[in-house]
């Protein structure tokens, strides 16, 4: 139990959850390394390095009054370099995936800023944002937009690496194929991805917004007016822009990889892992 002492009085504030959190983290690490072996270990280390970059570099800069959009993009670049190159190696395939992911992130940021300003968002869509406003010095709207970009990073990187791997496999199988032929053939797999990707980020955002959606069933306010409020509208914008970024990442990564890998120029040591 967590006990807070005040003079001669002791207050039990929380049960001690740290041992259970540590056990769950250990279970996750064992699963990642045991099933993924070398790449699982590198993926785990890359995730830890990326989180450290966000927590110890990006967040303090934003808290000190820095531009959240700028540091979100720079932080995204750092996280992607760590996760993509460290896990999958340095080469044409991973460079194509990295370029496509950054392009999708930049597009999400630009569209997010446009729609947020057009819809009159203030960034005060959560209790945490209201607390931050009391402290001052933080661009809350920029922080909201930064969250959109960072929240889509993992799924974007997975999609782009997978599509680049498909192109690499096709390029090795047919070294004479032109970039456009590789693009068309790889997009046959990409279209299958698009069907499932539409659900991926929407469901992820929806899962985090269940309390808000529960209000829809309890509040007598007409649905149109509820969806027009900033908390609901901000969640919907996040879902739609994140999913749009995922959908666009498929043709972007396929196009970049097709031009970089045409003629069998991919890394011979890498193997495609489409799923």
How sure is the predictor about 63, in pLDDT bands with cuts at 50, 70 and 90? confident
Across the range 194-203, mean pLDDT stands at 72
Tokens 């995730």 identify what position? 47
Angle CA 215–153–205, to nearest 5 = 10
Q: What is the DSSP string of 178-235?
A: -HHHHHHHHHHHHHHHHHHHHHHHHHHHHHHTHHHHHHHHH--S-HHHHHHSHHHHHH
pLDDT for 95: 93
pLDDT tens for 119-137 read 988 887 777 777 777 777 7
Task: Please state the length of the chain.
Answer: 275
Of residues 178 and 9, more confidence is placed in: 178
Its pTM stands at 0.78
The chain-wide mean pLDDT, for the chain, equals 82
Q: Which long-range contacts (CB under 8 A, 24 or more apart) does 271-275 make?
A: 271/165, 271/169, 272/165, 272/166, 272/168, 272/169, 273/162, 273/165, 274/162, 274/165, 274/166, 274/169, 274/189, 275/162
Which residues lie closer than 8 Å to 194 by C-beta, 6 or more apart? 247, 250
Check whether 202 has a pLDDT greater than 80: no
């Amino acid at each position: 139990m967590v006990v807070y002492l005040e003079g001669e009085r002791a207050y039990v504030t929380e049960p001690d959850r740290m041992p259970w959190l540590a056990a769950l983290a250990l279970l996750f690490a064992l699963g990642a390394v045991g099933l993924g072996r070398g790449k699982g270990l590198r993926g785990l280390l890359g995730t830890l390095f990326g989180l450290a970059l966000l927590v110890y570099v990006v967040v303090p800069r934003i808290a000190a009054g820095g531009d959240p959009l700028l540091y979100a993009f720079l932080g995204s670049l750092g996280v992607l370099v760590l996760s993509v190159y460290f896990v999958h190696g340095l080469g044409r395939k991973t460079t194509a995936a990295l370029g496509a992911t950054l392009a999708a992130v930049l597009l999400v940021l630009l569209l997010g800023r446009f729609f947020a300003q057009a819809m009159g968002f203030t960034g005060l869509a959560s209790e945490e944002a209201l607390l931050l406003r009391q402290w001052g010095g933080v661009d809350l709207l920029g922080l909201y937009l930064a969250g959109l970009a960072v929240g889509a990073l993992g799924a974007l990187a997975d999609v782009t690496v997978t599509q680049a791997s498909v192109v690499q496999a096709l390029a090795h199988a047919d070294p004479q194929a032109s970039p456009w032929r590789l693009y068309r053939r790889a997009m046959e797999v990409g279209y299958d991805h698009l069907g499932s990707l539409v659900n991926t980020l929407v469901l992820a955002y929806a899962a985090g917004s269940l309390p808000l959606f529960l209000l829809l069933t309890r509040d007598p306010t007409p649905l149109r007016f509820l969806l027009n409020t900033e908390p609901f509208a901000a969640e919907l914008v996040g879902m739609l822009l994140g999913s749009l970024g995922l959908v666009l990442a498929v043709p972007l990564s396929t196009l970049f990889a097709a031009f970089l890998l045409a003629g069998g120029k991919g890394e011979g040591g890498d193997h495609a892992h489409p799923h």
